[in-house]
Structure 1
Amino acid sequence: MKQLLSSLSYFSIFFAPFIFPFLVWVLSDNAYIARHARHALLSHLIPVIAAIPLIYLMFTAEVLGSVIMYLILFGLIYFLTFVYNVLKGVQVLREYV
């Protein structure tokens, strides 16, 4: 059961990226589940943190190329974070087998 909840924390990027890992982290009394839920929550927050400079750049940039390059970088960060969460969710599920 602990692998399932831990894995769902990572897979929640599909259905509730912040709410589910946060609730699992706060409500869990198991250290294993809480650790994975905390890591999942932090990995879900990475794209949000990366979007802050993007929003700032959109309003202050004088060169459109810098905004476009940061959009590409943001897309890469989001994609890699998404892949990380899926792979980590599968890895945690496979610990059960």
Structure 2
Amino acid sequence: MKAEKLLSSLCYFSIFFAPFLFPIIIYVLTYGIVRHHAGKSLWIHLVPYLSFFIGIGVLVLNGGNQMSSLIIICIFTVIGVYYLILNFVRGIKVLIVN
């Protein structure tokens, strides 16, 4: 049970060292609750990047207005920081709970 907790937690903490590679490897090689956490962490790792590309698309379509560009950049920075903190909290939660 301890190894399952550690691997599940490492999937969330992998945002700091291998955001996509580690959860994908764990997802393919494991089963059960570890696989569930690996898939969940992979999606949480993807959201900031998806929002970044959506933000870039909006900036391109916007035409470069300075005020709206600043607002868009601030919104997507907040999204990125939120998901970074979310990964950290979920990694600790998996280690401590149960």
List gaps (5 residues or longer) in structure 2. Answer: none
List gaps (5 residues or longer) in structure 1. Answer: none
Deviations 1:21-79 (A, max 9, x none): 11101111x31000000000000000011012222133232322111111100010000
Question: Amino acid of the residue matched to residue 25 of structure 1?
Answer: Y
Partner of 1:53: 54
- On the 8 A contact 1:3/1:95 being kept in 2, the answer is no
Partner of 1:82: 84
Q: TM-score, normalised by structure 2?
A: 0.90
Q: TM-score, normalised by structure 1?
A: 0.91
Kindly, what percent of the aligned residue pairs are identical?
34
Q: In the aligned structure 1, how far is the partner of 2:22 from the partner of 2:12?
A: 9
CA RMSD of aligned residues (A): 1.2
Give the number of aligned pairs: 95
- On the 8 A contact 1:18/1:44 being kept in 2, the answer is yes
Q: In the aligned structure 2, how far is the partner of 1:74 from the partner of 1:32?
A: 31
Provide runs of 4+ in structure 1 moved above 3 Å: none
